[in-house]
Amino acid sequence: MPRRVTFIGHASVLVSFNSAHFLFDPVFSERIVFLKRRIPPGIRLEELPPLSGILISHGHYDHFDRWTLRQLAKTTPVIAARGLGTHLKKLGFKTVYELSAWESTRLGSFAITATPAKHFGRQPFFHEISDFIGFVLQNEKTVYFAGDTAYFEGFQQIGERFLIDVALLPIGAYKPRKNLKKHMNPPDALRAFKDLNARWMIPIHWGTFHLGWEGINAPAQWLERLLQKEALPVRILKAGEWTEF
């Protein structure tokens, strides 16, 4: 398999470098607490290739899903936001790396760096306290996964440190307006994309769970309208679709 990004749904993404496969923020559950999944995962759990690593950006229930994690092979290394290590070990994972912003580790020939994110929020009974981070995954190409974040000056810092080929940026759950303190809307995401100076952008955090007051497909539709006015290298993937990089 060539280098490929496959959108599974919400913020769950499979990034493949030939025979190495990395799964970001995996959520395959039919329901997360009180929110029902609106579309099935773009890849079924049993169709996942052998994983080289699982990366988890923070402890909110729509990114850290215990049911999904119980289904995954416990020999797979997990790289997670600091604060999640104890929970992951209790779930049975043998190799766990906890990172805070700007800390790095390696999995074979891959360098993985935690990046800052602007996010917050306590979800009583359904939230594991942790840092909020994104990830930069580097090999012969570089992929940036923003996790869950509002727009902030950190995107410029990340773009200065890394030559990014693909930026996976969240675009949903922006209504009500106060949500923009912790999430991005499509204009914010495009501004972040420019700050990062990345070659390509793929939107995430939309179309799967109805987390914001906007329509579930409204983020992608708004982004499409913006791209009609300003041609930018952005690929909007539906669940199950992939693109090479």
Mean pLDDT for each 10-residue chunk of the chain (245 residues)?
A: 92 96 98 91 97 96 95 98 96 98 97 95 60 97 97 98 98 91 96 98 96 94 97 97 96
CA distances to 3, 111, 112, 165 from 140, in Å: 10, 10, 13, 10
Q: Are 83 and 75 in contact (CB under 8 A)?
A: no
The domain spans of the chain are: 4-244
User: What pLDDT sits at residue 121?
Assistant: 62
pTM, full prediction: 0.95
For residue 147, the one-letter residue type is: G
User: What pLDDT sits at residue 180?
Assistant: 86
Q: Which fold has domain 4-244?
A: Metallo-beta-lactamase; Chain A (3.60.15)
Q: Strands 53-56 and 78-81: what pairing?
A: parallel
